[in-house]
A and B are shown apart, each in its own frame.
Chain A
Amino acid sequence: MKFNFELKHNIKYKIQGYNFEKLLNNLIKNEIKLKKIKKLDDNILEFYSYKNNDKIIKNNINKLNIKIINEKNFGFLFFLKNIFFRVGLVSAIIISIISLFLSQMFVFKIEVYGNEKITKQEIISCLKELGVNTFTSKNSINTFELEKNISEKIPSISLVSVMTKGTSLIINLQEKVINDEYQNVGLFEPLKANLNGRIKSIKLIQGTLNCKVGDLVKENDILVYPYIIDSSGNKKSVKAEAEIVAEVWYESRITHYDECVKTYETGKTIEKNNLYFLDMPIYVDKKDVKFNQYETKVSYTYLSSFLIPIKIEKILYIETASKTEKVPFEDVKESLINEVKNQVYQKVENKSVINEYHTIISNLGINVVSYVVVVEESIVNLQ
């Protein structure tokens, strides 16, 4: 095999056409050196030339309507150029593949979809707490575990899915939808009775009744619950509101004794003064109290003008005497009834009285006078 070593970059042209002589003459007029000119067939010619003449050669070929059917590069310089290009290309491809492979191993971007109230930053912060960040290795991310942890960390998420796609960590989430009524569950208080009475009329504005007309209710009994139940059976929280009027009883009592022992003061007194230092007695008055029956009044005085904590205890002994009085109930009955009536009316004030009555219970000389006033009034506080 014949091997021609060429240092320079040569091109072998194989052309098809006619009038090659004119082409060759045109080329040599342009000072182009041609080599190995061989006529392969009547209309096919082959020749070599240097690469730097390529443009002129092709121009001339085109001018004469000759077709290039083959073109081949030769030469050591071409080989080097070619090899460098190929090595460079191969190297670039290898580097790219390695880079791509490495890049696929990490998360570069976190994408969050489906969030409305929860911000993307909240999700990213949550992920950071869970140890997931940009540049985290994809192998270290357990998506199932991550979904579970995100749901636990952010209670307002009802559904979350985590997946890795390319270099992105994609988080699809669904937020919990809470109705306004349900958001306020527990915020409203039931409507309670603020007085004892018997319900006379009910005008329910909002809520669920827990009483009916004619019911006897005590103070703090629940009259209206702060919710309603809709047609589908769901409980919705609402503010309990109602106008409930009831008959309310106001009562006062006085007890009268037919025979009673009354104690009164005789006017005689004895005063004793004791001194204490830090609650320890330093002087005790030893006067004798010769009263048979007495009451005492004790008062203390602190000597605050001194630094030393001294207390003066003043005991006043008041002599008393007792005597038995007999007052028949019938003598004071009317005045007692009036007295107890006045007491009741002080409680009733300007309310509309619908009924009033008194009762007397007598037993073994003890008489209890009771006066009852029935009024009609609202037993709930409207806010």
Chain B
Amino acid sequence: MFNLFSELKKEFNIPYVTDYNLINLTGKALYVEGHKGIMTLSKELISFRVKNGVVVVEGKSLSLKILSENTLCIEGKIKKTEVF
């Protein structure tokens, strides 16, 4: 499976990459690699575990575009992303 952050690490020779990585695309999509499982799923809130924490995504009409063992992509109107 294509892994965006691993490819970037290889390409740019970045020495350290965190256990999880996420990228917010203009508040319309959130791409996450290294998640450890979904905790909450609703139209307004999606939360998932990461190593040593929980990521909470709030917004409107949220849905999971892709969900696999390591990767997920949240689609919708993303208002806030918090890491606990």
Contacts and interface: CB of A to CB of B under 8 A. Distances in A.
A35 B65 contact: yes
A98 B16 CA distance: 74
Contacts of B65: 35-37
A37 B68 contact: no
B67 A34 contact: yes
A301 to B, nearest CB: 143
Contacts of B64: 24, 34, 36-38, 47
B39 A33 contact: no
A145 interface: no
B41 A28 contact: no
Contacts of A20: 41
Contacts of B63: 36-39
B8 interface: no
Given A37-B63, A38-B63, A21 B40 contact: yes
A39 B67 contact: no
A34 B64 CA distance: 9
A224 to B, nearest CB: 118
B41 A21 contact: yes
B39 A28 contact: no
A322 interface: no
B65 to A, nearest CB: 6
B69 A29 contact: yes
Nearest to B63: A38
Contacts, number: 49
A296 B67 CA distance: 154
A33 B37 contact: no
A25 interface: yes
B6 interface: no
A42 B45 CA distance: 12
Given A39-B42, A39-B43, A25 B66 contact: no
Contacts of B37: 21, 24-25, 28
Contact of B66 (A29, A31, A33, A42): A33
Contacts of B40: 21
A42 B39 CA distance: 15
B83 interface: no
A31 B64 CA distance: 16
Interface in B39-79: 39-43, 63-69
Q: What's the dominant secondary structure at chain A's contact region?
A: mixed
B23 interface: no
B38 interface: yes
Contact of B41 (A24, A35, A36): A24
B69 A37 contact: no
Given A36-B63, A37-B63, A39-B43, A25 B38 contact: yes
B39 A21 contact: yes
A35 B68 CA distance: 9
A246 B21 CA distance: 147
B67 to A, nearest CB: 4
Contacts of B43: 39
A37 B42 contact: no
Residue from A20, A28, A32, A45 whose CB has the most chain B CB atoms within 10 Å = A28
Contacts of B39: 21
Contacts of A21: 37-41
Contacts of B69: 28-29, 31
Contacts of B67: 24, 28, 33-35, 37, 47
Given A25-B38, A37-B63, 11 more contacts: A21-B40, A24-B37, A24-B67, A28-B69, A31-B69, A33-B67, A37-B41, A37-B67, A39-B43, A39-B63, A42-B42
Interface of B: 37-43, 63-69
Nearest 10 pairs between A and B by C-beta?
A37-B64, A38-B63, A25-B37, A34-B67, A33-B68, A21-B38, A28-B69, A24-B38, A31-B69, A21-B41
